[in-house]
Structures are given as structure tokens and as C-alpha cells.
Amino acid sequence: MIQKSIKILNTLQASTGLMRASHAQVRTGYNRAWLRDNVYESLGFEATKNKKQLIKIYRALLDVLLKHENKIDWAIREKPDQTFKYIHARYDPETMNEIWEEWGNKQNDAIGAILFKIGDLESKGIKIIRTRHDLRILQKLVWYLESIEYWQDKDNGMWEENEEIHASSVGACVAGLDKISILVDVKKELVEKGKNTLNKLLPRESETKEVDLALLSLIYPYDIVNETQKKMILKNIEEKLVRKNGIIRYLGDKYYHKNGEAEWCFGFPWLAIVYKQMNKPDKYAHYMIRSTKVLTEKGEMPELYFANSDEYNENSPLGWAQAMLLVAKMCE
């Protein structure tokens, strides 16, 4: 399973270093590169100690940001008042050009995720930074989050949907700002403002969502919730969102809705990782078994299964899911 998953992830990396969300031939648009997905896909390479490809991803992400530096400067000078003025979430993996469509482009968690992981890897001795240009763009990302007032900015969140203040987005930015402070200047109050918002929102994800799969990110990889918050998040997810072939993102989800909410596969290895870190081997084993059961005959982990069925959608493999499976498997 480990070797298959490594091979699958390798096929998703473009020559630039960016990771596609799924295979190059898929017709759903998942042949493109999302900033967020690149961070989550990188976790698989980190878990298997593949430093070469891990570093390649983050240097490619820095190249994307440098390519679009003028846009970031614009947003720093003047708080964005329209969606297109935000840092874009999705790019052509070969040209690094923005893929523009009218959809949920305000995704603050993606910026937090990049800052978090670059700071984390550098602290572990994995050198991502090449030149002062890389440091300059990272500093500008900090100023960007300050400009958009991330702690009270209504973004589209991890699922690219309705604009609200999302705990998962605010949390990603808090974690990112904290980690990247080893490399660039971060005002202490910039982190504190996010923490205050989190403490008011949690254990909810947003005003309209009491429980959401995205909240798992605050436990892993970000690790920024206290024990009480962690237990509430896990209790809510397990009691309300777990299904046969995955975890629904939230109650009433309409994405790939067919006889009910779609069941997202990566929820199983995600929970396995969390319970391994909490030293709960029985729970870890339970979710690893369920992770294995949703793999295709090719060993791929799809994005999702349609509700109450064994039919998965065309986004298979989902790179993010395959990477989470690798992380969970390497925990054994």
C-alpha cells in the first residue's frame, strides 16, 4: 500500500514541482494545482522522507507567489474589495498562471497552510528558502493576512463555498503566522487576534455550520486547539458526519449530492492520524481498516463516494487523500 501510494503521488507532480489535485487526464478540473492541496499532498512526501520532491513542491509554491507578486502588493496596499483581488487559489501546474472562474476563490486557509508548512520544515532543518526573494514573498504573505484582516474576513473556506468567517481558515492563518515567525517578522497581536476569534467560534466551524470535517485541520496538521476543543470537535464529527465510505463534510452538503451528502474518503485516514497522535491504538486501527476498505482496485483513494453506495466519483485518485493515507500508514 505504501509503495503504491508513493507511485500514485509521483504521477501527480508536474515538471514545475506543483502537484495536480488528481491525474492529468481528469476532466473535472482536478488536473490543476490548488495551493491548499499542494500543502496536503506534500505531507505524503514528508512522511516517506522524500525530501527532494517535498522541497520541489514548496519552491514551486514560492515561484507561483513570486510570479504573482504584483497582485499581492496590490492587496497589501489596499484591502481587497472584490474576490479577484485576493491571492488566487488555483493554477495551471505547468505555466503557473491563474485559473480564473467565478467560484469560491477567497481561501485564506491556503495562505496560512503555506506559511505553516514552510516554517515547520525549516524548523526541522529541511531547507526550503533559496534566496532573499523567497523571504521577501513570505514577509508579504504576512502583510497580506494583516491587510485582509484574516481574523474577521469572510472567506470561502476549505470547501470553496459560501463566504463566512471559518474557524478552519482563521486557525490555519494563526498556525501559519506562528510558525513562519522564525523566518520573518510577525506582530504578536496579529496572532492574538486570530486566537480570540477561534476561541469565540469553536467548536463550531462558522455561523451556519456547527460541525464540519474541515475542523480536523486544527488538530492535524496545525495542532492549535486545546484538549476540550479537540474532544468536542472529534465527538461532533464522529457522532454526526461519519458514514460507511467516508465522512461527509457537513450536514446538508450539496456537492456531488446524490441520495444524500457525499462521503469523503480522506476523513478516515485523517481520523486515524489524529488518534495515533492521541495514543489511542484501537481507534487508530479502526479508521485504518476503514481507510483500506475504500481504496479502489488500483489502490487509489478517491475523492468521495456517493451517499449510501459503493460508487465513487471521477476524481480518483485524489492526491490529498492518497497523501493522508500515506501519513496514516507511516504512523504504524
Instruction: Look at residue 131 and tell me whether its pLDDT is greater than 90.
Output: yes
Element (H, E) at 90: strand 90-91
Q: pLDDT by residue (tens digit) across 13-23?
A: 999 999 999 99
Burial 83-108 (b: 16+ CB within 10 A, else e): eebbbbbbbbbeebebbeeeebbbbb
Q: pLDDT by residue (tens digit) across 167-180?
A: 999 999 999 999 99
Cell readout for 33 is: 494545482
The rounded distance, in Å, linking the Cα atoms of 120 and 45 is: 14
Confidence tier at 105 by pLDDT (50, 70, 90) = confident
Q: What percent of the chain has pLDDT over 70?
A: 100
**Mean pLDDT score, 147-158:** 97
The rounded distance, in Å, linking the Cα atoms of 134 and 55 is: 13
Query: What are the sequence ranges of the domains in the chain?
Result: 2-330
3-state secondary structure at position 189? helix
**Mean pLDDT score, 35-55:** 98
Instruction: Look at residue 109 and tell me whether its pLDDT is greater than 80.
Output: yes
CB 248 within 8 A of CB 263: yes
Instruction: Look at residue 102 and tell me whether its pLDDT is greater than 80.
Output: no
Nearest to 19 by CA among 132, 101, 86, 117: 117
Look at the domain 2-330 and name its fold: Glycosyltransferase (1.50.10)
Instruction: Look at residue 103 and tell me whether its pLDDT is greater than 80.
Output: no
Q: pLDDT by residue (tens digit) across 263-317?
A: 999 999 999 999 999 999 999 999 999 999 999 999 999 999 999 999 999 999 9
Q: How high is the mean pLDDT of the chain?
A: 97
Cβ neighbours for 120, distance < 8 A, ≥ 6 positions apart:
179, 221
Give, in order, the Cα–Cα distances in Å from 15 to each of 25, 89, 184. 16, 20, 29
Does the predicted model carry a pTM greater than 0.85? Answer: yes
**Mean pLDDT score, 177-198:** 98
Cell readout for 83 is: 474576490
